[in-house]
Structure 1
Amino acid sequence: MRIVQATLEHLDLLTPLFVRYREFYGERPFPDSSRKFLETRLKRDESVIYLALPDDGDDKLLGFCQLYPSYSSLSLKRVWILNDIFVAEDARRQLVADRLLQTAKKMAKQTQAVRMRVATSRDNEVAQKVYESIGFVEDEQFKNYVLPISSE
């Protein structure tokens, strides 16, 4: 497998797997809105998306991850938020997530980031084990909170 950074030319390949990722977390598919969301992130350079492709072609996507830049005022450095990662059902147990995470980690080092952050559902033990296997540790210094903003 090979890992490449996504461009606008990858939207047709990426969108269906991104939709499945959203459905995995209980969201409605919205394929047109999902494509537009990805297109906007890429056009504005608001995220970095890595794609896992088989060695023998560009017509199948094994998995993807999407990272957003942020910054730490305390360390005065960049932080990368690993917001999305998903592996196609038929590509699981082939170390796709590991390869994507290693690529993201390399990019974080190259951009002199102080850390990468990731969150997953409390019951997603598979993802937790994968994150821990490449060095993620549970944050003991900060407790994370979420403030839902309604669209009303």
Structure 2
Amino acid sequence: MTLNIRPTQPNDILPLSALMHEYVVGFYNNPWPGDQAIELLFKNLLDQQIGVQFVAEQEGELIGFATLYFTYSTMKANRVAIMNDLFVTEAWREGEAEARLFEHCQRYTREHGCAYMSWITAATNERAQQLFERLGAARGTWVNYSIT
């Protein structure tokens, strides 16, 4: 069984939408933003201007995805990659898919001249924190805020 990590392609929209639904609604218990909003996001990521999305594919089936969005750091005067998503379906967790998706994002960040890659995860998502620490990531010192 060969695991393939690759950029998303136009024909991935239906299976990727299903994965994103499992991630947004099933994993994080958030409301679904709607098929049209997800399709627009998907199309915006395909041109790799605002970000890039990768999928993990096992024997023709999409089993996970990771999304990088781009921003800039004033302190580094350079582009930064924000890993907004890293998701693998339950059946494939604890395997190589998560690590390979993460490593692919990290490699993309380096190869495209980004200053660094950063991300956040839920404080309760200890499994993800263990994965990141096992892969050599360091916990940051910044405090995360948001407002709506």
Question: Do Structure 1 and Structure 2 share a fold, with TM-score over 0.5?
Answer: yes
2:121 is matched with which residue?
120
Instruction: Decide whether the 8 Å contact of 2:54 with 2:65 is kept in 1.
Output: yes
Instruction: Decide whether the 8 Å contact of 1:41 with 1:47 is kept in 2.
Output: yes
Distance (whole Å) between structure 2 residues aligned to residue 111 and residue 41 of structure 1: 16
SS in 2 for 1:102: helix
Instruction: Decide whether the 8 Å contact of 1:19 with 1:30 is kept in 2.
Output: no
Distance (whole Å) between structure 2 residues aligned to residue 65 and residue 139 of structure 1: 20
- Please state if 1:34 is matched with 2:38: yes
2:8 is matched with which residue?
6
**C-alpha root-mean-square deviation of aligned residues, in Å?**
1.6
Q: Where does the alignment leave 5 or more consecutive residues of structure 1 unmatched? A: none
2:50 is matched with which residue?
46
Percent of pairs with identical residues:
26
Distance (whole Å) between structure 2 residues aligned to residue 127 and residue 109 of structure 1: 22
Distance (whole Å) between structure 2 residues aligned to residue 88 and residue 20 of structure 1: 8
Once the two structures are superposed, residues 38-77 of structure 1 have per-residue CA deviations (whole angstroms, 9 ceiling, x without a partner) of 23332573221111111x3x2x111100010111111111
TM-score w.r.t. length of structure 1:
0.86
TM-score w.r.t. length of structure 2:
0.88
- Please state if 1:18 is matched with 2:20: yes
Letter in 1 for 2:120: A
Letter in 2 for 1:86: F
Instruction: After TM superposition, give the deviation of residue 7 of structure 1 in Å.
Output: 2.0
Letter in 2 for 1:25: Y
Once the two structures are superposed, residues 8-38 of structure 1 have per-residue CA deviations (whole angstroms, 9 ceiling, x without a partner) of 2211121100011001111123551323332
Where do 1:63-142 residues align within 5 Å? 63-140=64-141, 142=142
Instruction: Decide whether the 8 Å contact of 1:61 with 1:88 is kept in 2.
Output: no
Task: Give the count of matched residue pairs.
Answer: 144
Moved over 4 A (4+): none
